[in-house]
Structure 1
């Protein structure tokens, strides 16, 4: 089932992408047991993780992983289409129990929600091939117009880059905030932005699919885990999702799904529940 905020829309069942396994060892929450559904909030607007394909159906690595998770739980996947920036507030308001997006786990976000990790990433600079050389070096982004997705890891990293620029006596990053990934991509192509800050996983995928129209500059910065978000203190849901991810890692379905998107380098050997900033790498 796919829902767009307040308007339910029925869709065909998503394809099974992993071997159905027993959920006997997974602590299934009462919400899943009672409803028979694994209900998640997702934006469907962040390729390759979540998007709508040419047939109008949900697609992407997050959707395939979520479908596999529902299979393990013996449940139906139910997607509530919610803008990325509204998902953490929605959890806090008790509108849903799981926000399944590629959230970078940050200290700021951990003040509001808990996370269950399923990937790891850093942030990279993405620009056009002709501008790539000008962004190389420690302070290549200083004084430049940089597009970011609101509330994303790139949004946070832009602030960190500004701190480094100003400490070196250089101009701050001119951060330009956009609501969705496609808007930031278009801003570069239209010349409104000089570059964008993006998760290394998504940026690498787009570099391939765009046939080099935008390229990655340098190595990933500030590597951190990626996770699904649950309400602060919702131990039952967090433990269920951790067990689901570890089951998929164990049975090989996790690796098969990541392989389809060339994301194996971002995979984990074990899922972790993050509840406080002290768990994050320094």
Structure 2
């Protein structure tokens, strides 16, 4: 799918939501479990998704999905699942939706539908004592970089590595991990030089590790739109969630949630580059 095609899909998505049509009755919604909105989420991504000391889901995604479930008169039922298995779980209808810092890409839109809800971007995280920390993506040549398995921008990082070699520099050593905490551990234990991580999550890691790591990038990298993933076979559910989201926007709850976490709402112009 081209960039224009992706833009058209997102515009149609937001347009349908803005119609504010009457809510779909529970009985009309195709659900994995009647009476529940079954949500796949990788609960290892504070401040987006995590589990508190009482084993309860917390973060932007769980709070938003709980509000959406409330608007649909459903119970929010979260299933902690590693990121790489989320979209397959939606396609196989193991979950009704997946919400877990999932970037909308043309490739992913070929297999599932998305409801855009947040804007994000990546940051470079390094140890505080790194002699010459990279400030931009093109300064990663020759470095080992920890990234999340199945991250949307891995192809861009691979292309950048190819450019490094073409320019006579060393390739980027890309190391993938199943969770961001594992990637951060590789960084702090000096098994990699840099971690490429969501910028909001990077700020939380810096705070938690009390200065052991710092953000070295001087701007957002790979700006992206995050979406709630829904099966293409469940258009009625997608429409119901779109309407619930616009109701939350109209009530101000959506904006207050984003402000509390310091994140931005998605706009139709905030799209990833075509691959």
TM-score normalised by L of structure 2: 0.82
Query: What's the counterpart of residue 37 of structure 1?
Result: 36
Aligned-residue offset at 1:72 = 1.2
Asked if residue 181 in structure 1 is aligned to residue 175 in structure 2, the reply is no
Change in CA separation of 1:63 and 1:207 when aligned onto 2, cut-off 3 Å: same
Aligned-residue offset at 1:129 = 2.3
Aligned-residue offset at 1:281 = 4.8
CA contact (8 A) 1:38 1:75 kept: yes
Query: What's the counterpart of residue 23 of structure 2?
Result: 26
Query: What's the counterpart of residue 125 of structure 2?
Result: 126
Change in CA separation of 1:269 and 1:55 when aligned onto 2, cut-off 3 Å: same
Change in CA separation of 1:198 and 1:220 when aligned onto 2, cut-off 3 Å: same
Which segments of 5 or more consecutive residues in structure 2 lack a partner in the other structure?
A: 1-19
CA RMSD, 1 decimal: 2.6
Q: Matches of 1:120 and 1:127 in 2, distance apart?
A: 23
Change in CA separation of 1:281 and 1:43 when aligned onto 2, cut-off 3 Å: same
Aligned-residue offset at 1:177 = 0.8
Query: What's the counterpart of residue 204 of structure 1?
Result: 203
Q: Matches of 1:142 and 1:281 in 2, distance apart?
A: 22
Structure having the larger proportion of residues in strand: 1
Aligned-residue offset at 1:164 = 3.5
Aligned-residue offset at 1:116 = 0.9
**1:246-281 deviations in Å (ceiling 9; x for gaps):** 221221111221222222xx2236899xxxxxx755
Aligned-residue offset at 1:180 = 0.7
Q: Matches of 1:136 and 1:271 in 2, distance apart?
A: 26
Query: What's the counterpart of residue 135 of structure 1?
Result: 134
Which segments of 5 or more consecutive residues in structure 1 lack a partner in the other structure?
A: 1-22, 273-278
Query: What's the counterpart of residue 104 of structure 1?
Result: 103
Change in CA separation of 1:34 and 1:175 when aligned onto 2, cut-off 3 Å: closer
Query: What's the counterpart of residue 223 of structure 1?
Result: 223
The total of aligned residue pairs comes to 252
**SS state at 1:131 partner:** coil
Aligned-residue offset at 1:55 = 2.3
